[in-house]
Amino acid sequence: MRLVIDNIVKRFEDKEVLKGAGFTFEKGKIYGLLGRNGAGKTTLFNCLSGEMPMDSGEVLIEENVGSRKLDEQDVGYVYSLPILPEFLTGYEFVKFFMDINRGNIQMDKRIDDYFDMMSMTMEDRHKLIKSYSHGMKNKLQMLLFLMTKPPVILLDEPLTSFDVIVALEMKNMLREMKGDHILIFSTHILQLASDLCDELVVLNNGKLSAVPSELLHSAEFEQSVINLLKDEFHAENI
């Protein structure tokens, strides 16, 4: 399975944020999306998830039987600022989610099994969501995608709000999930990208480009990425 981004353009009034962005992502890999602040990473994710319309271009899912346009149901989006019903407990929310999606997803585990997978205590799962930390809210978002199993999962700065233990658990989970999904996450932390990702993609000057694979685990990795971002930033402003 492949996710093909073809010539996406997105403007906001007179500012063109995505300028014909294109790239092909493959199942079985974790991709890190790098870019300076304001480069358009969240805009790209919003276009892919259907949160915001593209001005032009298309996004396709390619499978053995052919290709088709990416549908909103194909995408799971872990927001950097989770949007959850804070008047419910975590358990109530997940049960509600399971009930309304019972005909669309395969329920192969009990609700508590999913909470166990996210290492959420019995006390935490029965607390109101409004009392959750940022990291716990992100874990709750991830729990939903363990149920729905969307082919494409977008993660906007997913691990920065977790403590060391939970971040390690989440990294291991992402590694296990990548065989069945296309995983793309944005991050500003180069060490995290180098440690977790199979490939890195830079978004700068409105376009996507791959970081050469031989740099990913080299001693020059961080400086090479910084130089790439600087060079493209200067090119944009000449």
Residue 221's pLDDT is 64
Where does the pLDDT of residue 204 fall: very low under 50, low under 70, confident under 90, or very high at 90 and above? Answer: confident
Class of domain 2-83+149-236: alpha beta
Task: Kindly state the helix (H) or strand (E) to which residue 67 belongs, with its residue range.
Answer: strand 66-69
46-85 residue pLDDT tens: 999 999 999 999 999 998 888 899 998 899 888 777 789 9
Which residues have C-beta within 8 Å of that of residue 6, sequence separation ≥ 6?
22, 57, 58, 59, 60
**Is 56 within 8 Å of 8 (Cβ atoms)?**
yes
Instruction: Give me the sheet containing 15-26, strands edge to edge.
Output: 15-26, 2-12, 56-63, 66-69
Where does the pLDDT of residue 233 fall: very low under 50, low under 70, confident under 90, or very high at 90 and above? Answer: very low
**Is 180 within 8 Å of 30 (Cβ atoms)?**
no
Where does the pLDDT of residue 218 fall: very low under 50, low under 70, confident under 90, or very high at 90 and above? Answer: low
- Amino acid symbol at 43: T
144-171 residue pLDDT tens: 888 888 899 998 876 665 667 767 777 8
DSSP string, 135-148: HHHHHHHHHHHHHH
What is the separation of C-alpha 139 from the centre of its chain, rounded to a whole number of angstroms? 13
Alpha-carbon span 206 to 9, nearest angstrom: 8
Q: Exposed e or buried b for every residue in 80-90, given b needs 16+ CB within 10 A?
A: bebebeeeebb
181-191 residue pLDDT tens: 999 988 877 77
Domain boundaries, the chain: 2-83+149-236
How many residues does this entry show for the chain?
A: 238
- Pairing relationship of beta strands 182-186 and 152-156 according to DSSP bridges: parallel
Mean of per-residue pLDDT scores for the chain: 84
- Amino acid symbol at 11: R
